[in-house]
């Protein structure tokens, strides 16, 4: 396993500055967010000029790019065209893992299955793997639903975030059944009342998370996803998380 950071946590900076900050914090790997609301790089940027997007990503300060987080606002043909452009960029950059949100709750289940199958089919052509991110308020929140989605969409993986099973409407749910599908991991510290707290003040059992992943021969990233909190030094929290995770590997 490798400890990484996501550029989403430095959204106020330029992409170059975000990557420099991550490197300064002595991370060796990074997830790059490609989203419509990003100040860094958007799906339309990639679709418009993949070569330019690649040139931007090459300035990664020697960080290993472990994954892309992909959030596309467009619908219909535009959505799949932009996703395919990102898959082509992933192949150029030798990135395998593409993490995407699932549909909001209330979306017809069969519609979500067909959408995910189409994403996986596109990604397969470029040697990439799609992982759905488990998030409260979305289809991929309840572990039983995640298992059914992954069983119905061949080669679909899970971008696993244990925090939603500690704080929020999905707290307390058993995640053992989804461990075989994990293809990416997001980590922060979380308490029963707060989705993010200072490192060491929450209830995330990192040792247990890593042991569960190891049982299924997980070899990919543990991605630190720590946003800024008022009155707390963000860089110090990012550094503490890296050191903690590295001490457990």
pLDDT at residue 171 is higher than 90 = yes
Provide the CB-side half-sphere exposure for 186 (13 A, CA): 28
Instruction: For residue 54, name the pLDDT band (cuts at 50, 70, 90).
Output: confident
Question: Which residues are registered as beta bridge partners of 236?
Answer: none
- Residue count of the chain, please give it: 249
Q: How far apart are the first and last CA of the chain?
A: 7
- pLDDT of 248 reads 94
**Which structure tokens are listed for 117?**
């199958």
In this predicted model, which residue has the larger pLDDT, 37 or 159?
Answer: 159
Whole-angstrom distance, CA of residue 22 vs CA of residue 63:
9
- pLDDT of 57 reads 77
Alpha carbon separation from 176 to 93, 182, 183, 212 (Å, rounded): 33, 11, 15, 8
pLDDT tens for 172-205 read: 999 999 999 999 999 999 999 999 999 999 999 9
- pLDDT of 10 reads 93
- pLDDT of 61 reads 66
- pLDDT of 56 reads 76
pTM, rounded to two decimals: 0.94
Q: Which CATH architecture has domain 2-248?
A: Alpha-Beta Barrel (3.20)
Task: Provide mean pLDDT across the span 68-86.
Answer: 94
Instruction: For residue 80, name the pLDDT band (cuts at 50, 70, 90).
Output: very high
pLDDT at residue 102 is higher than 80 = yes
């Amino acid at each position: 396993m490798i400890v990484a950071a996501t550029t989403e946590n430095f959204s106020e900076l330029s992409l170059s500055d975000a990557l420099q900050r991550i490197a300064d914090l002595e991370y060796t790997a990074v997830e790059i967010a490609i989203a419509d609301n990003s100040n860094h790089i958007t799906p339309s940027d990639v679709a418009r000029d993949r070569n330019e997007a690649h040139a931007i990503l090459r300035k990664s300060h020697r960080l290993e790019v472990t994954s892309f987080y992909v959030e596309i606002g467009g619908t219909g043909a535009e959505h799949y065209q932009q996703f395919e452009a990102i898959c082509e960029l992933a192949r150029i950059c030798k990135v395998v893992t593409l993490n995407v949100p699932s549909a909001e709750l209330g979306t017809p289940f069969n519609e979500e299955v067909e959408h995910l199958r189409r994403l996986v089919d596109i990604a397969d052509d470029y040697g990439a793997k799609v992982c759905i991110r488990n998030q409260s308020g979305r289809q991929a929140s309840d572990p039983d639903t995640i298992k059914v989605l992954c069983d119905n969409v061949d080669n679909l993986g899970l971008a696993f975030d244990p925090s939603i099973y500690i704080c929020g409407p999905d707290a307390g749910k058993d995640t053992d059944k989804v461990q075989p599908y994990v293809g990416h991991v997001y980590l922060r510290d979380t308490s029963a009342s707060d989705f993010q707290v200072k490192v060491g003040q929450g209830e995330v059992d990192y040792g247990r998370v890593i042991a569960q992943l190891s049982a299924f021969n997980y070899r990919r990233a543990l991605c630190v996803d720590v946003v800024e909190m008022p009155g707390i030094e963000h860089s110090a929290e990012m550094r503490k998380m890296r050191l903690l995770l590295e001490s457990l590997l």
